[in-house]
Chain A
Amino acid sequence: MNVNKDLQNERNKCSFNVRELTEFIDGGKNRTLERKHIEKLILAQKDELFGGTPEDYLSHKEKYERAIQTNVIILKIVQDFMRDANGGDLTNYRDVLTTLLNFVVSREGTPFALHFMMFLPVFLSQADEEQQMEWLPRAWNCNIIGSYAQTELGHGTFIRGLETTATYDAATKEFVLHSPTVTSYKWWPGALGHTANYCVVVAQLHTKGQCHGIHSFIVQVRDEETHMPLAGIRVGEIGAKMGLNMINNGFIGFNHVRIPRRHLLMKHAQVLEDGTYVKSRNSKLNYGAMVFVRVVIVFDSVNYLSKAVTIATRFAAVRRQSQLKANEPECQIIDFLTQQHKLFIGIATCHALKMTATKLWDTFNEVQQQLRGGNLERLPELHALACCLKAVSTADTAALAEGGRRACGGHGYMRSSGLPQTCAVLDAACTFEGDNTVLLLQTARFLVKVWRGLDTLKLTPTVAYLRTTLTEGFNDKWDNTVEGIIKGFQTVSMRKISECVSCMAKRMMSGMSQEEAWNMTSVQLVAAAESHCRVIIISYFHEEFVKVSSSFSPALRRVMKLLVELYTLYWALDKLQDLLKYTSISKTDTEQLQERYEDTLNALRPDAVGLVDAFDIMDEILQSTLGAYDGRVYERLMEEALKSPLNAEPVNRSFHQYLKPLMQGKL
């Protein structure tokens, strides 16, 4: 391979073993080997998968057709892999998902994502054993393609407000699904447009004249042979979006569609033949799938951010601009401190969030065990944690990827850079699966509850600091170390929660209802939840690093330690207003932090390309003119442009039709 000279120099400079870091990121040597194996299978079908006119030139309809064509190939490859994996167990299910999400070949998503990300997990957590036996093997084998239809045109966040009804008819032992209004149409489910033939539908369950709230039903949407929508079903796609245009998001409406009683997913609540409703043992049990999906979103956001920083960092090493000093050659833009400031935090964030999510995942599995034993103690904490972590990770990764895009100047605006599409995926994550503001308010609700019960409650691990920060002398002396900054963040979070609670109390004293007081304080509540999440991420990153670093070689340990430092310093400087307000930090301390931050950027500079190389994203998946391994940036930009169908002819027909008559005054 003919690699750009600057990029080769960077690689020669790298102070640590890139492969060692790759294996750590993958979760072990074997995982890396597995991934490489799949990559080889994908490359064997390179022409079918990546040939032809680039997708960005296609019409909306053509894009869909391309998506189906290529993703069927990918699915077959991953299916083979899955057969070896242990189907059904959620612990390994994450690996399957990770694999699938790692190998999305289109930059606008895949119509099969929902099948694996939502349809299967919901089925696993909500269908009873008999139902699982009946449906799972077919779903696992993709004999049916599913989607998950919850959100409606009129309701997203507030699921109690969903309008789709499922009314039990004891005479025929069937549910009748119905969409009574335009706003009750399901809207958004991926794959639902023209791809899925089955769907889990969330609807208000009515039986014996009473509404029992929302429940999940499995519904066949299209005929398995002809793919025609079944009678009474109106289904289609919702149109073009900012990104993810290959997901095939759809709408669906029901006109008195009948489904058998056993199509209600009955692991928790049930409806008996005579229409008797049997309640679920615990309404919180449904949290499981939600927590699962949100953790997966954190992992996936890291995936996309690592793509963005790989592209932006390699481009910054290749791109030369401006003469720092007269008569010297133009310098690599990665040598500008302002550029390092935009990029390196992205690299650190990938590691911080990945380690945090991994820890959350492990906690989730522990809690699942406890749940089976009937212990629900940690469920609210876990839910609160997953909520804020999803919100903060998606917001941070979206902002940092966008920062990376802008750091590539105009070329980052080109779709051939891959950055616009990457940013659009991360942007979408800010609102899907729980709007970020709403999620942060859920975490805030939990925090307020904990705070109010501080004297009596047994504190679960992630909120234990709320009590320790209150001990005398905790925050008397500011300390500029990572541990000191973490303590500072703990104080900030505690003080913000405390302020929210007293603010609400004051408002209620002045005559506001609890809800009004909550609403009036909500901007501060969101900020408090964010602060709590910052405490969790920074301290998890630090703790996990300490834990795993003993297995690292000294060189890797050094560079990872720098990343932990960088991440902590970055957020300390970003949140100076909070630290200045709530801790004993002084102006001199802040100046030292700034200086150390700049020194850390400098220390990471020689390893920057090595760090993104370690993400080990192959060119075919990265799909970027700016970010390819060989750094042939300008050649690739031109090559991609020449693939434009517009460039196939020197003069477009619109010249003769419109331009020429205009210029000659004859239009």
Chain B
Amino acid sequence: MAMSSVNPDLVRERQKCSFDVQELVHFIDGGEEHTLERREVENLVLDIKELKDVVPEEFLSHKERYENSIRKACILYEFFRKYSETNNTLDAFSPTNKYRVQMGVFKDISPFMLHMGMFVPTIMNQSAPDQAAEWLPKALNLEIIGTYAQTELGHGTFLRGLETTATYDPKTEEFVLNSPTLTAYKWWPGGLAHTANHCIVVAQLYTNGKCYGVHPFFVQIRDSETHMPLTGVKVGEIGPKLGFNTANNGFLGFNNFRIPRMNMLMKNAQVLKDGTYVKAKSDKLTYGTMVFVRVLIVTDMAYELSRASTIAVRYAAVRHQSQPKPGEPEPAIIEYVTQQHKLFIAIATSHAYRVTGNWLWNTYSKVTSDMGKGNLDQLPELHALACCLKAVCSRDATLRIEECRLACGGHGYMASSGLPIIQNIAAATITYEGEYTVLMLQTARYLVKAWKQASVGKVMTPTVAYLVDFSKNSNHIWENTPEGIIRGFHAVGAGKTQAAFEAVQAHEKTGLDFEDAWNRASVQLVNASEAHCRAILCEMSWAEMQRLSQTLSPNLRKVVLELIEMYIVFWALEKRGELLMYTKIQKDDIAVLQKRYEELLAAVRPNAVGLVDAFDIRDEILNSTLGAFDGRVYERLMEEALKSPLNAEPVNRSFHQYLKPLIKAKL
């Protein structure tokens, strides 16, 4: 792109930047070689002409959007199939931005998302070796397309309540699948409606007259040749949603549908030919895929934040509004401190989540490899960690993204700004793969257990070790440093855990049984989990950024550390009430922190555009009239509007049919 066509405000901003943007790009990608690989994939995909939309997605009908997304998905996956012949693509199952280019293709969610995101990982994690040998190559080679059907109309969170049944018939050595009620219908799986021909189905396993709880089964649902639903299968789509409208979410019901015994995924539990049930070595083994998905959500949120902040920061540099000083030109809105307050924290949060998410991924990898060796000790801690981090990161990210959208004023409400869909996709994350409140309460259960152990001085796992210290009523002096604030958040985490724990006990004393007491204290238990999670986010992002930034040039190191510091100070100010309650912080300290926060905003200000440029998101992936690299905001808004089919005719037919008779009506 010729620099001359770039908005002059953006050019000026880029000249102000104090660090080498390319160095930060490489840092974010995890090394220069990864940047090069990512860019290669992006170039190859975006060069495919057939993947471009003629009419923007948002003008199409629901059905047209589906057809368009399938068209693009097939072309794209055909490309990936060829690409994987000469390149390693298994890194798709780890935190990486290499394949985010798909967002530029689909604008929303790929109808194949669950194929790679859930179907393949479940086969990898839960099928026996001979099963994997049969299914995995087909799945990876897209000879079959699959999805993962767990959630039902009536049950999401409470897995034990699922109603779909798989009853073993030893005579034919088959399982018989049934959906006994309307609420037993599977509901939500992406790609299930009209796309997938195979599916992992989670159902209650019955054999020899006994129910053994939920287990996964490999089920073919459509004919490979005709794609017609097989007899006994009722399948369709669930309708439009807030986002995910190209994900092709479906429903599925079974009527005495038979599958071979060996279609039960048998890595852990098994059913023998005669119907004997063989238990899994540990009931925790099935946590694997669930934790895997939650872990990846943290880095996904880091990426969504980078998209939203890129759009909002570039727009804020281009948009001019108001005249605070008479006679002077209107300033760019990025000069307003209220605007900086909304936007810079989004950049900082993206970095905090990326480094914390990568740390969580490494922890996950270590725990799973230990599990392979039979050591399950660290699983409960990992589970508790993944629960609260998934919950808090998805919710905070959605809030930050919405702030970015609101910071763009009315234009942020336009679909063409790209912000509504980013917000809507992030908002879904709060609910799927474990609803926010439910996950927070799971972490709370772990915390309460840890608190009980801590109070008798037992050794704790690392992420809750701080509880031991605070259970002894230790009183630390307050310090206005990142380390001091992190210690303060530990104090809050411990204090809130203690308060919630005591609330449970107090309710029990009034005669309530434990579960009722737990419920009565649950608002406080959620708060305790949140405090614990904030402590972890601050602690780990600070430690990890310190560690990772050692190789950076001094200029850049300063910038990235200031971002994490901003993240920590922002939360200290947000949670100053809790700090006031549980630490020795003084009112004057709050003023010091406020001042430090304002200094950090000022420090980020000249680098703001450079920082979002370093997220290195191509215009085609950003898909935003407000956020494109060249800053031609108003021209693009108009160009996109003119693509509306409504604008193809000056007068819509509804005028003659309805409007004119109304207007011409006599008094």
Contacts and interface: CB of A to CB of B under 8 A. Distances in A.
Interface of A: 54, 56-62, 64-65, 68-69, 72, 75-76, 137, 141-145, 151, 153-158, 160-161, 182-183, 185, 187-188, 193-195, 197, 224, 226-229, 236-243, 251, 320-325, 330, 335-339, 341, 402, 406, 409-410, 412-416, 420, 427-428, 430-432, 435-437, 441, 513, 515, 518-524, 526, 575-581, 587, 590-591, 594, 598, 602, 634-635, 637-638, 640-647, 650-665, 667
Given A62-B61, A413-B241, A638-B185, 16 more contacts: A60-B646, A68-B654, A241-B413, A251-B638, A251-B641, A324-B516, A330-B161, A402-B427, A519-B336, A577-B578, A581-B590, A587-B581, A643-B239, A655-B194, A667-B75, A667-B78
A634 B253 CA distance: 14
A67 to B, nearest CB: 8
B237 interface: yes
Given A155-B321, A634-B153, A662-B78, A228 B67 contact: no
Interface string B385-421: 0000000000000000010001001101111100010
A412 B63 CA distance: 22
Interface in B15-31: none
Nearest to B642: A236
Given A141-B665, A321-B158, A663-B142, A645 B63 contact: yes
B124 to A, nearest CB: 20
B662 interface: yes
B337 A522 contact: yes
Given A415-B241, A523-B341, A652-B67, A239 B58 contact: yes
B577 interface: yes
A188 B410 contact: yes
A643 B665 CA distance: 35
Contacts of B92: none
B183 A634 contact: yes
B549 to A, nearest CB: 28
Contacts of A242: 413-415, 420, 423-424
B337 A57 contact: no
B156 interface: yes
- 9 closest A-B pairs by CB: A577-B577, A240-B58, A242-B420, A658-B74, A420-B242, A59-B61, A68-B654, A240-B415, A654-B70
A214 to B, nearest CB: 14
Contact of B242 (A229, A415, A518, A578): A415
Nearest to A155: B321
Interface string B522-562: 11101000000000000000000000000000000000000
Contacts of B226: 651
A158 B323 CA distance: 8
B62 A156 contact: no
Given A158-B323, A197-B663, A655-B194, A337 B523 contact: yes
Nearest to A647: B236
Nearest to B73: A658
B162 to A, nearest CB: 11
B520 interface: yes
Interface in B194-230: 194-195, 197, 224-229
Contacts of A158: 321-323, 330
Contact of B62 (A57, A75, A430): A57
A61 B645 CA distance: 7
Interface string B311-339: 00000000011111100001000011110
B157 A641 contact: no
28 contacts: A59-B59, A60-B59, A64-B654, A158-B321, A194-B652, A227-B651, A236-B641, A236-B642, A236-B647, A237-B647, A240-B56, A240-B58, A240-B415, A242-B420, A431-B412, A432-B410, A518-B324, A580-B580, A602-B520, A637-B238, A641-B237, A646-B66, A650-B228, A651-B226, A652-B63, A652-B67, A663-B224, A667-B78
B653 interface: yes
Contacts of A578: 577
A161 B330 contact: yes
A667 B78 CA distance: 7
Contacts of B244: 413
Nearest to A580: B580
Query: Which has the most chain B C-beta neighbours within 10 Å: A322, A598, A643, A663?
Result: A663
B581 A520 contact: no
B93 interface: no
Query: Which has the most chain B C-beta neighbours within 10 Å: A195, A325, A406?
Result: A406
B536 to A, nearest CB: 21
Interface stretch (B286-294, B428-436, B454-462): B428-436
Given A182-B638, A662-B77, A667-B75, A330 B158 contact: yes
B134 interface: no
Contacts of A227: 651, 655-656, 659-660
Contacts of B593: none
Nearest to B575: A577
Interface in B152-202: 153-158, 160-161, 182-183, 185, 187-188, 193-195, 197
Contacts of B441: 338
A72 B662 contact: yes
Contact of B430 (A338, A341, A406): A406
Contact of A513 (B66, B142, B325, B640): B325
Interface stretch (B143-151, B268-276, B368-376): B143-151
B236 A137 contact: no
A141 B667 contact: yes
B646 A194 contact: yes
A415 B64 contact: no
Contacts of B33: none
A74 to B, nearest CB: 11
B83 interface: no
B659 A68 contact: yes
Nearest to B185: A638
Given A64-B654, A153-B634, A523-B337, A323 B516 contact: no
A72 B59 contact: no
Interface in B328-356: 330, 335-338, 341
B379 to A, nearest CB: 22
Interface in B606-651: 634-635, 637-638, 640-647, 650-651
B654 A415 contact: no
Contact of B71 (A154, A188, A657): A657
Contact of A410 (B151, B195, B322): B151
Nearest to B499: A591
A205 B14 CA distance: 38
B66 A652 contact: yes
Given A182-B635, A227-B660, A236 B324 contact: no
B646 to A, nearest CB: 5
Contacts of A236: 641-642, 644, 646-647
A242 B240 CA distance: 14
B32 interface: no
Given A153-B638, A642-B236, A652-B194, A658 B576 contact: no
A157 B321 contact: yes
B657 interface: yes
B437 interface: yes
B431 A161 contact: no
A193 B648 CA distance: 12
Given A581-B590, A658-B74, A161 B322 contact: yes
Given A161-B322, A325-B513, A406-B431, A644 B239 contact: yes
A187 B635 CA distance: 13
B587 interface: yes
A661 B236 CA distance: 22
B47 interface: no
B597 to A, nearest CB: 9
Contact of B659 (A145, A602, A659): A145
B62 A144 contact: no
A414 B587 contact: no
B227 A142 contact: no
A56 B239 contact: yes
B180 to A, nearest CB: 13
